[in-house]
Structure 1
Amino acid sequence: MLERLNFYWRLFGTGLSFFLFGCMGILVWGLMFPLIAPFLGRGEIKKRRTRGLMSGIFRLYMDFMRLIGILDYRVLGRREQLAEGGNLVIANHPCLLDIVFLISQIPNATCIVKPALIRNPFMRIPIRAAGYVYAEDPEMLIRHCAEELKGGGSLIIFPEGTRTKPGNAVKFQRGAAAIALHAKANLLPVTIHCTPSTLTKHEKWYQIPQKRFTLSLYVGDHMRLTPVSEKIGRPQLTRLLTRQLEAYFIEQLAQHGKY
């Protein structure tokens, strides 16, 4: 009986959390943010303050879900490195909440957003204020990402491109490697575990697990790329780095799966 009550409570809490997230987008970012934006300064100062505000709100959101018993979360490994600037944060993507969780832990985080979001009347003002990266042209996107990293921001990238289907092998696209090579960035790998699995790509919000789930971030050391011959062209180098990243995450997911 208690297990059933707990299940229905978590189902209600999950629906409430999704509802609040939608309200947050409309009320906080669509209505309130335009009123406070003039007081956040200009240029780089405004960008950092907006990102800090986003990080704080997402941290409160994660704490709310923990408080009502939907989830638990933990940050393991070299967590102090998340606060450093200029990191290209590379992560796997098992759960819908991954980006929320990462931004909640990184005070000066930026990420790549779809250009369509810039046309969203509720999100375009905060997205521009936070300096989130968007571009229609791939080459321009890479340049914008490199500029953010060189300016001290931490860029979050999911090289898989979408949420991983449970049981599928890790398969990275080449965009993260192309950005890393162009920007000569500090690669900070973050391995994410969601136990038990939930909120995957093909799951509805109400398909909750039988018990509270735990999100774990394992922050690794900065990656050292394997030296290669300078005679190798950029496309080949990008493919090689992509394979290195895949191999790293396959090893880490197996090693830290117990967390």
Structure 2
Amino acid sequence: MPLLQSISAPVRFYTSLLVTGGVFAALDAGTCVLRLSMPEGPRRRRMARRWLCTMARLAVGYLHRAGILDCDMAALTTIAQRRNLVLVANHPSRLDCLILASALPHMVCVTKASIWERGVLGSTLRTAGYVRHDSLLKIIGPASQSLREDCQLLLFPEGTRSRAGAQAGPIQPGFAAIAQRMRADVQVVLIETQSPYLSQGWPFLRRPPLPMRYRITLGPDFCAPSRDEASGRALIDAVERCFQKKSSPQDGEDLKNT
């Protein structure tokens, strides 16, 4: 058994919160250097995304070694270098974006305004070109710009985190409108977990059962939809069916038994 995992679960968990906080502080310090040393533009945003990916990998790697997180994300290697791609994922936890960012160096995420405006993590997201989620009309421009810069645009179309064990909720149509406008393919990303940690209503400091097990798989890869209403509606319905199928009880049992 690795040395870190021989320590009691409560000590490992609360220590991991401190370590992760330190990683985020270093992340912000690095992006501060970028803002001071480089002019705003595509190159600075690209460097900030690489830095964010590096620090996310550091955090996720530590959580693995400490026995806090057991995450199978091998499927993401097949899309890590694809560009001009819209990613749509279900959203069971606040850890989702951290896990995906650790494997996808070109990812830009549409994030809640409350996170985008935070003094700590928010400054990094702004520097990396992440998109603030306001209304659909306000996100289409920045989201389209990220695709023009050959990024992968990640959206959580449910609009909020789900509650542990709950069915996926109805999805919002914004991702389809962006894909239609930019003629971008759409890749479904399915995040499976039985851990309730940081799902909707779960307190940050409350320790969950450890390790927290995650499995990330790829759903269908849809070709860029045409710009007519029927194509957009068909894409939205297809993605919603993918989410609902993956949130069925038997899928949760499959994950528990892996």
Q: What TM-score do the two structures reach when normalised by structure 2?
A: 0.81
Deviation larger for 103-112 or 115-124: 115-124
Distance across 1 between alignment mates of 2:66 and 2:26: 22
Note if 1:151 corresponds to 2:162.
no
2:43 corresponds in structure 1 to 45
SS state at 1:220 partner: strand
Deviation larger for 201-210 or 94-103: 201-210
Distance across 1 between alignment mates of 2:159 and 2:6: 32
Note if 1:241 corresponds to 2:240.
no
In structure 2, runs of 5+ residues without a counterpart are: none
2:203 corresponds in structure 1 to 204
Deviation larger for 119-128 or 167-176: 119-128
Amino acid across the alignment from 1:242: I
Seen in structure 2, the aligned counterparts of structure 1 residues 200 and 140 have a Cα distance that, compared at 3 Å, is closer
CA deviation digits over 1:142-166, x for unaligned, max 9?
Answer: 1221221132011111111111113
1:188 corresponds in structure 2 to 187
CA deviation digits over 1:78-122, x for unaligned, max 9?
Answer: 632132111111111112210000111101111123445555443
Q: Which has the larger radius of gyration?
A: 1
Note if 1:16 corresponds to 2:10.
no
| Structure 1 vs Structure 2 CA RMSD | 3.0
Measured after TM superposition, the shift of residue 137 of structure 1 is 4.6
SS state at 1:199 partner: coil
Contact 1:51 1:109 in 2 (8 A): yes
Work out which structure has the larger RCO, using CA pairs closer than 8 Å and 6 or more positions apart in sequence: 1
Alignment of 1:1-259 (within 5 A): 9-29=8-28, 31-39=29-37, 43-77=41-75, 79-117=77-115, 119-123=117-121, 125-134=123-132, 136-171=134-169, 172-224=171-223, 234=229, 238-254=232-248, 257=252, 258-259=254-255
1:3 corresponds in structure 2 to none
Seen in structure 2, the aligned counterparts of structure 1 residues 124 and 252 have a Cα distance that, compared at 3 Å, is closer
Measured after TM superposition, the shift of residue 178 of structure 1 is 2.4
Q: What TM-score do the two structures reach when normalised by structure 1?
A: 0.81
In structure 1, runs of 5+ residues without a counterpart are: 1-5
Distance across 2 between alignment mates of 1:120 and 1:226: 35
| Count of aligned pairs | 248
SS state at 1:16 partner: helix
Amino acid across the alignment from 1:85: R
Distance across 1 between alignment mates of 2:44 and 2:13: 33
Seen in structure 2, the aligned counterparts of structure 1 residues 174 and 7 have a Cα distance that, compared at 3 Å, is farther
Contact 2:106 2:151 in 1 (8 A): yes
CA deviation digits over 1:149-197, x for unaligned, max 9?
Answer: 1320111111111111133222212222222222222111111011344
Distance across 2 between alignment mates of 1:176 and 1:78: 20
